Amino acid sequence: MNDPRHLSAAKARLAAEGGPTEAQAREPVAGTRPIRSFVLRAGRMGSGQVRALAELGPRFVLPFWSTPLDPAAVFGRSAPLVIEIGFGMGDATAQIAAARPDTDFIGCEVHAPGIGALLQRIDERGLTNLRIVQHDAVEVLEHMLVPASLAGIHIFFPDPWHKKKHHKRRLIQPAFVAELVTRLAPGGMLHCATDWQPYAEQMLAVLGAEPGLVNTAEAYAPKPDYRPLTKFEQRGLRLGHGVWDLVFARR
């Protein structure tokens, strides 16, 4: 019988070497491949990230299942649940989870270096209210989260896909937003942020046209206190670049 610890270590090595992730292994047959909002790249992982993935992954990284998740069983309690889609290196994710201990968080990310980095932050801060799923968020929402189960959804600085021919890859599209709405509980918040103005304008148009959402501001919202400034964002603000937050509530 395979030892789960050995399997976890093997997964860590595979991720560190840029090998295929579960999402890649489950690609559909030729001719039916969906448009994805991300590109899997073989990012290099530091030794600390590799170690965190091997040692902490079995506890904090949830496997992708095609059946609904039981948050109470995962976290050992019943609490509001927030999912973050695409957390990058996880600094803001860990800060938010630390500042809101009464809320449980699931971070959804496909890139192994970011997962390793967030696991390090979880360990450093002793966080117990944060878990990770390394899988395509579209499929996580569809299969692992039941309708009206989320108190919030965070989508901070998704890839803007600058070229017009790539706009179809942008995450914030009407069909995806409609799916997000079904997973939000009434009154649940959808919070998006971007530093690319054309994408901010598209976000505002798409979210504003979704009948299941209502804008909490006239247009763009002031940055909520719970969202920390990233180092990249701080640098951009010093250079005069804009950042746009959009906070919508489910009706």
Say what the pLDDT of residue 234 is: 86
Annotate 46-75 with three-state secondary structure: CHHHHHHHHHHHHHHEECCCCCCCCHHHHH
Say what the pLDDT of residue 43 is: 63
CA distance 112 to 116: 6
Q: Give the 3-state secondary structure of residue 168.
A: helix
Say what the pLDDT of residue 36 is: 56
The 10s digit of each residue's pLDDT in 212-240 is 999 999 999 999 999 999 887 888 888 88
Written as six digits, the tokens of 114 are 């970011």
Alpha helix ranges (H) inside the chain:
4-16, 22-25, 47-60, 71-75, 91-99, 112-125, 137-144, 174-183, 197-209, 231-238
Is residue 159 annotated as part of the catalytic site, yes or no?
yes
DSSP code for 166: G
User: Domain locations in the chain?
Assistant: 4-24+43-250
The 10s digit of each residue's pLDDT in 6-34 is 444 444 444 444 443 333 333 333 444 45
Say what the pLDDT of residue 131 is: 98
Half-sphere exposure of residue 232: CA atoms within 13 angstroms, side-chain side: 11
Q: Give the 3-state secondary structure of residue 155.
A: strand
Q: Which string of DSSP letters, residue by residue, matches 176-202? A: HHHHHHHHEEEEEEEEEEES-HHHHHH
* Contact call for residues 5 and 58 (beta carbons, < 8 A): yes
Say what the pLDDT of residue 164 is: 87
> Is 3.40.50.150 the CATH classification of the domain at 4-24+43-250?
yes
CA distance 35 to 31: 11
Say what the pLDDT of residue 166 is: 80
Greatest alpha-carbon span in the chain: 59
Say what the pLDDT of residue 236 is: 82
CA distance 188 to 99: 19
Say what the pLDDT of residue 231 is: 80
Q: Which of 123, 159, 195, 245 is catalytic?
A: 159
Consecutive sets of 10 residues in the chain, 251 residues long: mean pLDDT of each?
42 43 38 49 81 97 96 98 96 97 97 96 98 96 97 96 89 97 98 95 98 98 94 84 96 97
